Amino acid sequence: MLLSMPDPFSLEGRTAIVTGGSRGIGYAIAEAFIARGGRVIITARGEEALQDAARRLGANCLASRCDNGDPADIARMMADAWRLGPVDVLVNNAGISPFYKRAEQVTVEEFDSVVQVNLRGTYFCAVEFAKRCFEAARPGAIVNISSAGGITPLDRLGVYGATKAGIHLMTKSMALEWVDRSVRVNAIAPGWTETEFTDGLFASRWGDILKSHVPMGRFAAPEDVTGAAIYFASEASRYVTGTILPVDGGRTLR
């Protein structure tokens, strides 16, 4: 007779914050977490899109507007979330890349805007979450959404790629520093993914060229990233920390 074993991928009873959760990969992750029994708090800068996403996700979702480029707003959002009860998982998904330019064409203002959200925002979200786990003496799981562009270079996306490579080292450093306090830190590095962010690029003459570099022969859908996020957020990965997992259809193999 087989014993009934608990599902290690279940998120039943767990609460997760998903930054940048109003659309794209963040929305897909929030939806997948709810389907696995979790509760989610989604954040984004745009209030209207955020509230619309929360309505579509249903009763197990709350919305909290947050500017990921502002450490003070991050601290406020995190405090508000923990006042509702302990948070088990942080998915650091919010990020921007508003331009495709050669390195010499990038302005200081453009450089700073990408670093501010992608690198600084991810860093302080992780720190604010971890500090509350420490204070509550609770374990936590941080899932950083980086990019395959942080592993291999992307033409005219050097600043974006640099921030994502920074997230990879940040992930490993935090994982090492916090392992003795039961906060695990891992990262997912998606390849080219079909979202509102990439629609224009994929529809241009570059679309077929980019797709030809993906061994699986297609771009990712946001849902292709959710399995890795569930793995890192759940007990299935309880002995895993400091890992960077490409979800890229094999693109970084080339």
Summarised one tens digit per residue, pLDDT across range 54-78 is: 999 999 999 999 999 999 999 999 9
Token reading at 119: 């690198």
- In 28-146 the beta strands, taken as DSSP E runs, fall at 39-44, 61-65, 89-92, 140-145
Please say if the pLDDT value at position 219 is more than 70: yes
160 catalytically annotated = yes
Active-site position among 27, 123, 160, 231: 160
Q: Output the pTM of the full model.
A: 0.95
* Band of pLDDT at residue 4, cut at 50, 70 and 90: low
Listed residue (44, 45, 46, 52) closest to 17, CA to CA: 44
In the chain, what are the helix, strand and coil shares in percent, each to the nearest 5? 50, 15, 35
The domains found in the chain, sorted by start residue, are 15-247 (3.40.50.720)
Listed residue (148, 152, 150, 94) closest to 126, CA to CA: 94
Whole-number Å distance between alpha carbons of 69 and 181: 27
Please say if the pLDDT value at position 195 is more than 50: yes
Question: What pLDDT was estimated at residue 206?
Answer: 79
